[in-house]
Amino acid sequence: MNKQQLAAKIWESANQMRSKIEANEYKDYILGFIFYKYLSDQLVQFVTKEGMTPEDIKALNEEDADTVKYIQDNLGYFIAYDNLFSTWIAPESDFDESNVRDALSAFSRLISPTYKKLFEGIFTTLETGLSKLGESAGKRTKAISDLLHLIKSIPMNGKQGYDVLGYIYEYLIEKFAANAGKKAGEFYTPHEVSVLMSHIIAHELKHKDTIEIYDPTSGSGSLLINIGEAVEKYAKSKDSITYYAQELKANTYNLTRMNLIMRGIKASNIKGYVPFNCCYT
């Protein structure tokens, strides 16, 4: 199954699963879980490269202060084994809605102080919206479980993984925007417009050694990403590009942060404010 087919399959199922929930709201839940899966998988990949065995990973918990700090220093956050996405969907898992609530609460508590601005509050919309996924705990547990199993096949590693993940994220945003009507303008710039603007801007900036890109109404972050990818063709390094994003609504700004992080952009290159001494071309 290619990325187009996988994206279409996820959208079709998600659109049916959302039932009476507005598309503009449901997008925050599915995209939030996709992002949590990304962070969870990144942590597993990191500790595996560091020499941890599957048994070592099963022992990951926040009581091990040295390990927690080491992972925080490298990733900016820590997720215990019990809260990993892969643990939730394991065949032997006795998954419950409370697992998600506990995990999101723990995530907020275990963000590295250095990465506070990048990650703080990023799951607030998902956390507060869980109650809308069902009238009872049992129904919410089933709805969440169905969502988790729907997105479990999205690859999250390597360049190919970023490509597929990024495509699916943008595909879902575009589809939810089409179903959200006038509300779509809050978080989505049409792809064709975004690409055209990106090429024009990249051409103007091609002789610069360092690039600072600012979008004061960043929405899902797709315009920033398209400009970044276009500029990358001329830049000496992708790390020479800094992204500044702002949004009026917190849930929309969260989409920007998630999108930028999942594209493999360094945390130090993602800014949520605009310094007064910056000058943008």
- What are the 10-residue block averages of pLDDT along the chain, 281 residues in total? 89 86 86 96 96 97 97 97 97 93 97 94 93 92 94 78 81 82 60 86 86 87 89 82 88 90 89 54 44
Q: How far apart are the first and last CA of the chain?
A: 41
CA torsion 158→273→277→261, rounded to 10°?
0
**What is the residue whose two structure tokens read 């595996």?**
48
Indicate the class that CATH gives domain 3-181.
mainly alpha
239 close to 210: Cβ distance less than 8 angstroms: no
State residue 144's pLDDT score. Answer: 94
**What is the residue whose two structure tokens read 């790390």?**
239
Rounded Cα gap, residues 1 and 43, in angstroms:
26
- Comma-separated ranges of CATH 3.40.50.150 domains in the chain: 189-271
- Comma-separated ranges of CATH 1.20.1260.30 domains in the chain: 3-181
Superfamily of domain 189-271: Vaccinia Virus protein VP39 (3.40.50.150)
Q: What is the CA radius of gyration of the chain?
A: 19
Q: Which residues contact 206 (CB under 8 A, 6 or more apart)?
A: 231, 234
